[in-house]
Amino acid sequence: MRIRKILIILFLIITNAIIPESMAKAESTISGIIKARGVRDARNVVVYLENVEGVFKPPEEKPVIGQKNLIFNPHVLPVLVGTTVKFPNNDNVKHNVFSPSKAKKLNLGTYGSGIVREVTFDKLGKVSLLCNVHAEMSAFVVVLENPFFALTDTDGKFTILGVPPGTYTIKTWHEKLKEKKQEVVVKEGETVTLNFNLSR
Amino acid sequence: MKIENKSVGIIIWIILMVFAVESAEAIPAFARKYKTSCATCHMVFPRLTPFGEAYRINGYRMPEIEEESVKEEPISMGAEAYKEVWPNAIWPGNIPGTSPVAFRINYGFSYDKTNTKTPSKFTIPAIQLFMGGTFSDKISFFGSVLLVKGHNTNALQMVSMVFNDMFSKYLPEHAFNLRIGQFVPDLTTYKNKHRSLTHTPYALNTYVPAMGSYWAPGSHQRFGIAGQVIGMEASGLLTKRLRYAIGLSNGNALLGEDNKGKDVFGKVAYKSGGMAFDGSSVGDIFGASADNWSEKSITIAAFAYYSSRLDKDNAKDIVLQRFGGDVNIFFRDLNVIGGFITGTDQDYFNREMINRKYDVFFLETNYMIYPWLAGVFRFEQANPKDIDSESFDSVSRYIINISALYTANVKFSIETRINPDIPEEKNLFIGLDYAF
């Protein structure tokens, strides 16, 4: 009996190790292009999925929004809810980070060069970040319910990787452009192409 | 050509009413902001293209594509996200990244056979300083100062700020804009001679009822509606093709009106065809033409102006009323514009109150021979009507002008006026006009 159990366990281990990659579940991708009218270019559009089933753990590696040359960088950061973001001051002057947004009201105070402060974003929504020392500085953290999101580049291109098969709502967010949404059906191993035209 | 029956002329041209090619309030500072040619907004400057008109109406911003068109980054006075912080922070805005000023200089050579003292002379240059730009997506400003012209130095012409798209949460886009300051009322095409293609100003601005003539230097008793007023004006789009403007002012800024009565004015205009007032259009409005004025459209407008002025000599208020309209027709390279004003002026004559009634009209055709060459032909007539104690004959004249761009910002012109009632009157003007 014991030998039988050992043999079954060994069999399962061996078969899982040698299952060809092609027989593993293929990942699906959603990609596309955003065309934006009324803004300088189509970068920094957050494209994200809603209604994806599952429990998603925030990443252990903490993303960073730095302050350098009187600019927040990156300007837009999409994150999974529960993610902790680091805010290092990489400038030679003092900076402040605060937000009036409902999704996360915060004020990290004013701090000097080399100091890093952290914030955990635990509510869904957009968080506007400002500096009360330098009024022209701003950035946005977009807190999302799942990790299936992407940020467009200058040309408006985006790719969302590893999407499980299913039917979802795909939405856009931009600080100045109106939100748009579409329904998308994703099949296993498929690459779906979706484009958006956004305007003010 | 002589119009023998002035009534026939009036009937024919009364249907031609102008609106669109109004104040040429685009300036080289805007060219620098977008790193674009003057020709983006102007045909032969200062005449505006349909797009240039939409730019002006949109508060000196490119309709729909402002941000991506700006090449000179503005200086931020606060990030947009500070709107969320207000009232606990200053509402954000910006100032132009480059100096928002421009200059326009014009002078020339004139010949007037009736001037026996100096029939020919080089004219005294006029230098105008313009300023214009935006402070945010909701605030724009515009101004001009006449720096040098003969003995009239440093004359403030216009300075105003416009709050665009007010109450946008509750009203449609472009529905309500508010202009405050010293400005020319947004009523007609022929407000200010510095925005005209011709050197000769429109008779509707300069006709002097008391003199029965088109021009009496130094006279303030001109028939035309006020050149510049100090006050406020609300304007906007009721639909993409229907505009309105209403205003309240002290009155004529140059007269320094200081009575308690206020001037009230208003206008409505409708455009059919071509580019809509908000810069939108359906289909290819310019057809196969590469020219950005070459649309087919007609714009009609009507206005009213009520003025109460203090007659200083008699220390009494007098009332001036004006009604009028204009038409602007674009048909490819041909632009026909026409306008008329009818009105009544109270006046004092030998210490008695009299009423002067007039109508003045014009018809002008502009033809773009080439993108750099325009021909202008204008007919104008002033008709005194029911005058209590004086009477003048109708006066009419023709103005013929050829304007040629050497470059987009340098213009030469040659012009003559013909007075059918004074055939011996011979005159010529050769002008040079440039802006930067």
User: For A130, which of B66, B77, B85 is closest by C-beta distance?
Assistant: B85
> Tens digits of per-residue pLDDT, B152-183?
555 778 899 999 999 988 999 889 999 999 98
- Pair (A156, A133) in one structural domain: no
Looking at the domain assignment, is residue B160 inside a domain? Answer: yes
Q: Are residues A43 and A81 in the same domain?
A: no
Do A74 and A92 have their domain in common? Answer: yes
Count other C-beta atoms under 10 Å from residue B392's C-beta.
Answer: 17
pLDDT in tens, B90-132: 999 999 988 899 999 988 999 988 888 888 999 888 888 999 9
CATH number of the CATH domain containing A175: 2.60.40.1120
Using alpha carbons only, give the angle B140, B143, B148 rounded to the nearest 5 degrees.
Answer: 165
CA closest to A72 among chain B residues: B79
Contacts of residue B85 in chain A, CB cutoff 8 Å? 100, 130
The whole domain housing B377 covers 6-435
Same structural domain for residues A100 and A36?
Answer: no
What is the least distance, in Å, from the CA of A71 to any CA of chain B?
Answer: 11
Classify B384 as helix, strand or coil.
Answer: strand
Q: How far apart, in Å, are the Cα atoms of A159 and each of A33, A57, B78, B229, B318?
A: 9, 21, 33, 58, 73
Task: Please tell me the predicted confidence (pLDDT) of residue B220.
Answer: 53
Indicate if A120 and A77 belong to the same structural domain.
Answer: yes
**Radius of gyration for the alpha carbons in chain B, expressed in angstroms and rounded:** 22
Where among A99, A129, A144 does a domain terminate? A144
Determine whether B107 is exposed, middle or buried from the number of CB atoms within 10 Å of its CB (0-12, 13-18, 19+). Answer: middle
Nearest CA in chain A to B84: A100
Same domain, A102 and A90: yes
Among B64, B81, B82, whose Cβ lies nearest the Cβ of A37? B64
Assign residue A78 the CATH number of its domain.
2.60.40.420
For residue A108, being part of any structural domain is answered with yes
Q: Which of A39, A137, A140 faces B67 most closely, judged by CB atoms? A: A39
Interface contact flag, B76 A175, Cβ < 8 Å = no
d(CA B236, CA B40): 23
Q: Find the CB nearest B84 among A101, A135, A199.
A: A101
Cβ contact, residue pair A130, B81, below 8 Å: yes
- The answer to the question of residue A43 being in a domain is yes
A70 and A140 together in one domain: yes
pLDDT for A116: 95
Are A77 and A136 part of one and the same domain?
yes
Specify whether A114 is located in the same domain as A160.
Answer: no
A17-44 tens-digit pLDDT: 544 444 445 679 999 999 999 898 999 9
Residues of chain B contacting A176 with CB distance shorter than 8 Å? 67, 80
In tens, the pLDDT along A113-147 reads 999 999 999 999 999 999 988 999 999 999 999 99
Q: What angle do CA A92, A96, A98 make, to 5 degrees?
A: 155
CA distance A119 to A105: 11
> How close is the nearest chain A Cα to the Cα of B86, in Å?
10
Range 25-64 of B in CB contact (< 8 A) with A: 64
Chain B residues in contact with A199 by the CB 8 A cut-off are 64
DSSP SS3 for B38: helix
Q: Tell me which residue in B66, B67, B78 faces A135 most closely, judged by beta carbons.
A: B78
Query: Cβ of B65 and A38 within 8 Å?
Result: yes
Q: Which of A126, A144, A162 is the last residue of a domain?
A: A144
CA distance B402 to chain A (A): 39
What does the alpha-carbon distance between residue B181 and residue A21 come to, in Å, rounded to a whole number?
74
Chain A residues interacting with chain B (CB cutoff of 8 angstroms): 37-41, 100-101, 128-130, 135-138, 140, 175-176, 199-200
- Give the domain extent around A81: 57-144
**How far apart, in whole angstroms, are the C-alpha atoms of residue B124 and residue B106?**
9
Q: Which residue has the higher pLDDT, B399 or B146?
A: B399
Q: What does the alpha-carbon distance between residue A197 and residue B17 come to, in Å, rounded to a whole number?
A: 40
Taking CB atoms and an 8 Å cutoff, what residues of chain A touch B79? 130, 135-138
At residue A86, the pLDDT reads: 97
Residues A159 and A183 in one domain: yes
Q: From the CA of B58, how many Å to the nearest CA of chain A?
A: 14
Least confident of A159-173, B48-62, B164-178: B48-62
pLDDT for res A22: 44
The answer to whether A100 contacts B84, with C-beta atoms less than 8 Å apart, is yes
Q: Is B92 within 8 Å of chain A by CB?
A: yes
pLDDT category at B386 given cuts 50, 70, 90 is low
* pLDDT of B148 over the 80 cut: no
> Is A38–B64 a contact, with Cβ atoms under 8 angstroms apart?
yes
With CA atoms as reference, report the closest residue to B190 among B43, B46, B31, B368.
Answer: B46
Residue A3 CB contacts under 8 Å (≥ 6 apart), including other chains = none
Model confidence over A86-98: pLDDT tens digits?
Answer: 999 999 889 999 9
User: Least CB-CB distance to B65: which of A37, A135, A136?
Assistant: A37
Q: How many domains does chain B have?
A: 1
Q: What is the pTM of this model?
A: 0.80
* Interchain contact, A138 vs B79, CB within 8 Å: yes
Please, what is the end-to-end C-alpha distance for chain B in angstroms? 39
Report pLDDT for A191: 93
Question: pLDDT tens across A46-82, in order?
Answer: 999 998 999 999 999 999 999 999 999 999 999 999 9
Q: What does pLDDT average to over chain B? A: 81
Nearest Cβ partner for A175 among B65, B80, B88: B80
CA distance A139 to chain B (A): 9
For residue B348, tell me if it sits in a domain. Answer: yes
Q: How confident is the model at residue B5 (pLDDT cuts 50, 70, 90)?
A: very low
- Which pLDDT belongs to residue B256? 61
Spatial contact of A35 and A196, defined as CB atoms under 8 Å apart: yes
Nearest CA in chain B to A200: B64
CB distance B198 to B401 below 8 Å:
yes
A175 and A125 in a common domain: no
Domain count, chain A: 2
Count CB pairs under 8 A between chains A and B: 49
Q: What is the CATH number of the domain that holds B124?
A: 2.40.160.10
What are the residues facing B326 on neighbouring strands? B339
Sheet holding A149-151, edge to edge: A149-151, A46-50, A166-173, A181-186
Confidence category of residue B403, pLDDT binned at 50, 70, 90: very high
At B390, is the pLDDT very low, low, confident or very high (cuts 50, 70, 90)?
Answer: low
8 Å CB contact between B100 and B131: yes
Three-class DSSP category at B154? coil
User: Does B65 contact A at CB distance below 8 Å?
Assistant: yes
What is the CA angle B302-B308-B312, rounded to 5? 140
Query: Would you say residue A84 has pLDDT above 80?
Result: yes
User: How far does the CA of residue B372 sit from the closest CA of chain A (Å)?
Assistant: 31
Contacting residues of B for A138, CB less than 8 Å apart: 79-82
Q: Is B97 in CB contact (< 8 Å) with chain A? A: no
Among A144, A165, A184, give the residue marking a domain's end.
A144
- Residue B1 included in any domain: no
pLDDT tens digits for range B202-226: 887 777 766 666 655 555 556 666 6
Query: Confidence band (pLDDT; 50, 70, 90) for B395?
Result: confident
pLDDT tens by residue, B320-379: 888 999 999 999 889 999 988 888 888 777 777 888 788 888 999 999 999 899 999 999
Helix H or strand E encompassing B206? helix B203-206
Query: Which residue of B82, B90, B91, B138 is the best one to mutate when testing the A interface, meaning the one whose CB has the most A CBs within 10 A?
Result: B82
Residue type, A59: P
- Segment A139-162 mean pLDDT: 96
> Touching check for B74 and chain A: CB below 8 Å?
no
Q: Supply φ then ψ for residue B273, to 5 degrees.
A: 85, 165
Same-domain pairing of A64 and A136: yes
